[in-house]
């Protein structure tokens, strides 16, 4: 994967964006609300992991994991709520750009 520029000077300067499909990443980040939620989070890494299953033996074929990692302990409730909003909007955008299942993949954690 390479460091990509999505065409937003502030976002390109402020964040390291890696991927193998620039068009999909640009489509994902075309939502200004999603970029705002990303900007509100401090010290996180957000990624889609390929067919990994940290919570168990693995996910079914073709099911990926939306994963985040943060430095430090999150104690601020508003920051935690914003993180949940970030996950919800990210998943919604992934479905809209045809990068996620529209139907339930039947994964039980």
- Which has the higher per-residue pLDDT, 1 or 19? 19
Whole-number pLDDT of residue 10: 92
Whole-number pLDDT of residue 46: 87
Rounded Cα gap, residues 25 and 15, in angstroms: 13
Instruction: Using pLDDT thresholds of 50, 70 and 90, give the confidence band for residue 98.
Output: confident
* Torsions phi, psi for 85 (to 5 deg): -60, -40
The two tokens of residue 27 are 């489509």
Averaged pLDDT score across all residues of the chain = 83
Global pTM value: 0.78
Burial 64-74 (b: 16+ CB within 10 A, else e): bbeeeeeeeee
Q: What tens digit of pLDDT does each residue of 36-74 get? A: 999 988 778 888 877 655 555 666 677 778 888 888 888
* Whether 32 contacts 8, CB under 8 Å: no
Asked if residue 27 has pLDDT above 90, the reply is yes
Rounded Cα gap, residues 91 and 95, in angstroms: 6
Mean pLDDT of 12-38: 91
Instruction: Choose the weakest-confidence range: 2-6, 30-34, 51-55, 100-104.
Output: 51-55
DSSP string, 5-42: --S-HHHHHH---EES-HHHHHHHTT-HHHHHHHHH--
């Amino acid at each position: 994967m390479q460091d990509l520029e999505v065409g937003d000077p502030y976002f390109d300067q402020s964040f390291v964006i890696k991927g193998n499909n620039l068009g999909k990443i640009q489509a994902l980040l075309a939502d200004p609300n999603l970029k705002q939620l990303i900007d509100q989070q401090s010290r996180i890494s957000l990624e889609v992991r390929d067919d990994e299953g940290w919570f168990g033996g693995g996910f079914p074929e073709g099911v990926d994991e939306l994963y985040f990692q943060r430095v430090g302990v999150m104690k601020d409730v508003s920051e935690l709520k914003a993180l949940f909003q970030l996950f919800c909007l990210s998943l919604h955008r992934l479905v809209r750009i045809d990068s996620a299942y529209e139907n339930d993949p039947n994964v039980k954690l």
